Amino acid sequence: MSKSIADLHKKLEAEKNIHTDFKDNMTYGEYLSLDSILSSQNRLSGHHDEMLFIVIHQVSELWMKLTLHEMTAAIKAINEGQMQSAFKMLARVTKIQSQIIQAWDVLSTMTPAEYLEFRDDLGKASGFQSYQYRLIEFALGYKTAHILKIYEKDPAVHEMLEKAYHAPSIYDVAIQALSRAGFAINPDLLTRDYSQTYAGDPTVAAAWEEVYRNVDKYWELYQLAEKLVDVEDWLQQWRFRHMKTVERIIGFKVGTGGSSGVNYLKQVLDHRFFPELWDLRTKL
């Protein structure tokens, strides 16, 4: 072995030891970055219940982070025909969704009077500005542009939102999977402008109906459809619990984000992500 290669080996070995040493000595808190996580509950008011309010939001954002991680990977897997791994990820997403919904029970222990003690301190801040929530909506195909404007001055987030805004949603890749399986899908859908919210198409409705009538023949597509229905069902339940919790805590007051409040949240509930999968229930 020439000297230089032996030196290189020695150097690599030394680096490996530094890494192993760090790993051996690493603590629980270091690994989980608990210093930063547990010093991020910055109450603006002295009010006791503001801690609950902050923690519920932070926990929700963490679950949203994992949801996005799983959904992005599921979209890729469906694109690559790796249906079984997509199903695993989507099953995990629905478990997260059911977990996140439980948070409303905890938040509902806060009374209107308690919330009003610190509501003014929140200024114009609102869940409306949650970019992770919008990324989830984008991944599911609901593309609303207003959030892009909010983040114009934050290039990193703006770029992420912009990219997701123009990317195919999980339903777009499911429709592409239908096409690959031989269904006569409207060709315009396969090259459509993905920044537009999907509005439904009779060729997709016919394809899903065929899948549901011939489950044995199209077992994977059937499974995919039912997983998508699960995700939409849970998301709607989250939206409903949010709307009802808001009504319970602030009634019909206008929102800090500038919307009408509960009436706006009721309106959002009307949006359906995968319309054909719901319509076919009536047809079958």
State the binding site for heme: 242
Whole-number Å distance between alpha carbons of 144 and 101: 23
Q: Considering only 39-47, 119-127, 204-212, 275-283, which stretch makes contact with ligand NFK by CB under 6 A?
A: 119-127
Q: How far is the CB of 115 from ligand HEM (least distance, A)?
A: 5
Query: Which amino acid is located at 93 in the chain?
Result: V
Residue 56 near which of ligand NFK, ligand HEM, none (CB within 5-8 Å, type-dependent)? ligand HEM
Residue least distant from ligand NFK (Cβ) = 127
> Which spans of this chain sit near ligand HEM (rule: CB under 6 A)?
56-57, 60, 107, 115, 126-128, 130, 133, 242, 246, 249-250, 255-259, 261, 264-265, 268
Q: Which is nearer to ligand HEM, 146 or 281 (CB)?
A: 146
Q: Which of residues 51-70 bind ligand NFK (CB under 6 A)?
A: 57
**Could you give the C-alpha distances from 153 to 85, 128, 135, 147, 156, in angstroms and in order?**
37, 17, 18, 12, 9
CB 107 within 8 A of CB 50: no
Q: Which is nearer to ligand NFK, 201 or 247 (CB)?
A: 247
**Which residues have C-beta within 8 Å of that of residue 47, sequence separation ≥ 6?**
114, 117, 118
Whole-number Å distance between alpha carbons of 184 and 189: 11
Q: How far is the CB of 264 from ligand NFK (least distance, A)?
A: 10
CB 251 within 8 A of CB 118: no
Q: Does 256 bind ligand NFK (CB under 6 A)?
A: yes
Q: How far is the CB of 114 from ligand HEM (least distance, A)?
A: 10
CB 175 within 8 A of CB 189: yes
Q: Which is nearer to ligand HEM, 139 or 207 (CB)?
A: 139
Q: Does 189 bind ligand NFK (CB under 6 A)?
A: no
22-37 exposure pattern, b = at least 16 Cβ within 10 A, e = fewer: eeeeeeeeeeeeeeee
The CA-based angle 78-84-88, given to 5 degrees, is 95
Q: Which is nearer to ligand NFK, 14 or 254 (CB)?
A: 254
C-alpha radius of gyration, the chain, whole number: 23
Which residues sit in the known binding site for substrate? 53-57, 115, 119, 256
Total binding residues for ligand NFK by CB under 6 A? Answer: 10
Residue 138 near which of ligand NFK, ligand HEM, none (CB within 5-8 Å, type-dependent)? none
Whole-number Å distance between alpha carbons of 87 and 98: 17
Q: How far is the CB of 129 from ligand NFK (least distance, A)?
A: 8
Q: How far is the CB of 167 from ligand HEM (least distance, A)?
A: 20
Site of interaction with ligand NFK (CB under 6 A):
57, 119, 122, 125-127, 250, 255-257
